[in-house]
Amino acid sequence: MKIDDKIENHFRIDINQKKALSQLGLKTIKDLLYHFPSRYSDISEVRNIITLEDGDNVTILGNITGLKTKKGFKSNIPMGQAILTDLTGTINIIWFHQPYLAKMLKEGSTVRVTGKVANSKTYGLTLTNPEITKEDILPIDIHDSLFNTKGAQVQYGFPIYRESRGITSKWFYHAISKILKQDCVTNIEDYIPQDILNLYKLPALHTALFWVHMPQKKEHAEIARKRFAFEEVFFIQLARQQEKKKYESLFSYKLKIPHKDVDDFISRFPFTPTKAQSNAIDTILGDFIMDKPMSRLVEGDVGSGKTFVAATVAYAVIKNRPVGQNFGNLQVAYMAPTEVLATQLYENFIQYFEHTGISIALMTGSGCRKYPSKSARWENGSQIKTWTPIAKNQLLKWIKNGEIPIVIGTHALISKTVEFEDLGLVIIDEQHRFGTNQRMKLAKKDGHAPHYLSMTATPIPRTLALTIYGDLDLSIIDQMPAGRKQVITEIVGENKRVESYEKIKKELEDGRQLYVICPKIESEDEGEDIKLDVKSVTTEAKRLKKDIFPNYNIEIMHSKMTKDKKEKVMRDFADKKIDILVSTSVIEVGVNVPNATVIIIEGAERFGLAQLHQLRGRVIRSTHQSYCYLFADAKTDKTMDRLKALTKAANGFELAELDLQLRGAGLLSGDKQWGITDLGMEAIKNIKMVEAARTEAIKIIVTDEELKSSPLLSKTLIEKNLKLHFE
């Protein structure tokens, strides 16, 4: 057996198993070896059924009865059922797609069962697709020689692996047990330098692989997982520091900043900048006068004024010439993830720059616009109502010859046809929505490195920022503009819904608008989700129209809709053609609908705190009082404490740090969007580990950017393909 062999070369797998392995991204023996257990069932800690709660991962010892097979009423899914009984109570067992398991067991036999508890309206407390072992045999049967020195089998816990339909944790256990016997594992070469392993007391690669899959004791599992957690962050940092080093070596513009012009620009705004905004502006202007291109991330809550900061530093770039060079005025490219957000930024910039005479263009997939334009029509001196489109070819000429200093757009800005005369600053809004390659295409468009400023309203912990944005310097805007009212946030149980709906009706009667956020798009058939009571966009919109808000225009939005359809819905909502928008969490970050002052979040317990905070930020866009109703089914004190934290926290950064400790970084936004494994995310909780990995990566890249003296390290970095995607 060789580490790079295909799995089917050594294991007999059927078509369903092959499909399941593919869905998990497992193709080679090495992939299997690095498919680590998500947890271990501690064979010394058997739980009593009476102590179980929804969401617990448990091992139970008891007698199994009521064995039978059937098919789902709606879904027609074949399943096995049973009842497990111990001295304290009973719990249901269901095996979806595995009815044969009910036939393999003997009525009344004693078994050990390991799985996750769910509380279903249909079945009550239930274990779905658990691992089950007859108690008259040991729960493991790995060969004696692996961790056995005295002839008896000893193991800390039974490894539980992430599954996919068609393949089980038990299959992984037996397959990986076979792999661990092979010389290709025992003789595997370590790619992390030995001095780093010694410094942080980390095990060698082959030892860590044995211990992570088959730990003799708890300490073995912990130290092995620590090694792989460090490793993941270390390689991310290597990639980030390598990218930063290359970027800083490129030609850039060193600017001279006339602060009087900047002060005059700021003085025209009808508000005084917060201290946090002023600090961010001063730091960025300081970066502009350095002899290397700026790479900076500005992180701030929704409504904290990041667009004002972007406009101010864009003006500073346009008004200045590079030190010692005779170029014309520099240009600014501002990229947003959606047309709705790009259009909103364009309209804001027109208001900010109308007194300057500076031309601004909008370029999206559906058309181009330019300001100043004779075709513009304004109402009340502020809102743009219509714009006559201009030909894209004409706009491209103006951009290429430098006639348009500011170009705002979507992905269209990184197409090959867009050429700038002198691109001095790139701004990326909601930067986590773009992959690294997309961002760098714009930053390097005209052969040099313009200053690079990214913005995000996603509050994330410092450790996560240091990791995924390791190539960027960080500025935080942690203050809100004066006059913004705190969102009134309430946790609403089932018995308080009617009362909350009455409060919301009063807001709608006053002309305000409402968001309703649901965890799912559509209802699912029995068997697909043990929690059948989770609200969905389609059914909830129908229910609200029929029973709660019959006199208001209700529309839906979700990820399965086309881009054009989503854009139209958001435009209609912004134009108040829609009173109530029922959506999944895809509602666009940064979209400004000041009249929407109320948000309902259904199934609030299913979202991370940071995501709840960001969703709540949709209704903090005006000086009107706004409201957030968390419709939640909080069954545990821990869940209730999380939600209560949202009603009290001063800002999203506090919540992000709390959520990291309570739920793990992989759930900070309700989904694992960062491109980091669960194991890597555990490392993010440890600031010392992140800083250590970062320190070691910087040391290596400073002296050997291309890793020429460490070919195995370089090869592994390429294999890991650490081009993180944030979409």
326 and 281 in a common domain: yes
What CATH number corresponds to the domain at position 86? 2.40.50.140
Give the type of residue at 245.
K
Is 352 domain-assigned? Answer: yes
- DSSP H or E run through 145: none
Q: What is the pLDDT of residues 219-262, one digit of tens each?
A: 888 999 999 999 988 998 998 898 888 888 777 777 888 788 89
Note whether 414 and 512 are same-domain residues.
no
Residues 36 and 166 in one domain: yes
**Residue whose entry in the numeric block shows the structure tokens 């708890």:** 218
Q: Which of 532, 533, 540, 537 is nearest to 72 (CA)?
A: 532
The pLDDT of residue 46 is: 76
Q: Is residue 30 part of a domain?
A: yes
Same structural domain, 493 and 448: no
Q: Is 443 part of a structural domain of the chain?
A: yes
| C-alpha angle 360-392-350 in degrees, rounded to nearest 5 | 15
Do 433 and 502 lie in one domain? The reply is: no
Q: Tokens representing 674?
A: 């960062």
Residue 235 in any domain: the answer is: no
Domain boundary among the residues 650, 678, 706 is at 650
C-alpha triplet 442, 288, 234: angle, nearest 5°: 65
CA–CA separation, 242 vs 81, rounded Å? 54
675 within 8 A of 724, measured Cβ to Cβ: yes
Both tokens assigned to 604: 């609030």
**CA distance linking residue 275 with residue 621, whole number of Å:** 20
In a domain, 689, yes or no: no
- Asked if residue 68 lies in contact with residue 80, where contact means CB atoms within 8 angstroms, the answer is yes
Same domain, 353 and 369: yes
Confidence of residue 501 (pLDDT cuts 50, 70, 90): very high
34 is a domain residue:
yes
Average pLDDT, the chain: 82
- Looking at residue 381, its pLDDT comes to 46
Average pLDDT over residues 10-29: 90
Q: CB 184: neighbour CB atoms within 10 A?
A: 16
Does residue 539 sit within a domain?
A: yes
Q: Are residues 4 and 103 in the same domain?
A: no
Contact in structure between 429 and 344 (CB atoms under 8 Å): no
CA–CA dist 338, 53 (Å, integer): 42
- Mean pLDDT value across residues 277-293: 92
The residue segments making up the domain with residue 581 are: 488-650
Instruction: Check whether 683 has a pLDDT greater than 90.
Output: no
Q: Is residue 646 part of a domain?
A: yes
User: Are 363 and 353 in contact, with CB atoms under 8 Å apart?
Assistant: no
The whole-model pTM stands at 0.69
119 and 160 inside one domain? no
Give the integer Cα–Cα distance in Å for 624 and 196: 55
What is the three-state SS of 430-488?
A: CHHHCCHHHHHHHHCCCCCCCEEEEEECCCCCHHHHHHHCCCCEEEEECCCCCCCCCCE
The predicted-structure confidence for 542-556, as pLDDT tens digits, reads as follows 999 999 999 999 999
**Spatial contact of 363 and 395, defined as CB atoms under 8 Å apart:** yes
Average pLDDT estimate for 93-101: 85
The length of the chain, given as a count of residues: 727
Per-residue pLDDT reduced to its tens digit, 393-436: 999 999 999 899 999 998 888 788 888 888 889 999 875 555 55
pLDDT of 60: 87
Q: What is the domain count for the chain?
A: 4
| Residue 206 exposed, middle or buried by CB count within 10 Å (0-12, 13-18, 19+) | middle
273 and 339 share a domain?
yes
Give tens-digit pLDDT for 128-177.
888 887 764 333 332 233 333 333 334 566 788 888 888 888 889 889 98
Instruction: Give residue 416's pLDDT.
Output: 80
Q: Are residues 532 and 627 in the same domain?
A: yes
Write phi, then psi, for 416 (nearest 5 degrees): -65, -20
Q: Evaluate if residue 623 carries a pLDDT over 80.
A: no
CATH number at residue 580: 3.40.50.300
Same domain membership, residue 12 and residue 125 = no
Q: Strand 488-492 and strand 131-134: pairing?
A: unpaired
pLDDT of residue 322: 65
Residue 528: band (very low, low, confident or very high) from pLDDT cuts 50, 70, 90: very low
| Phi, psi dihedrals of residue 470, rounded to the nearest 5° | -60, -20
449 and 326 co-located in one domain: yes
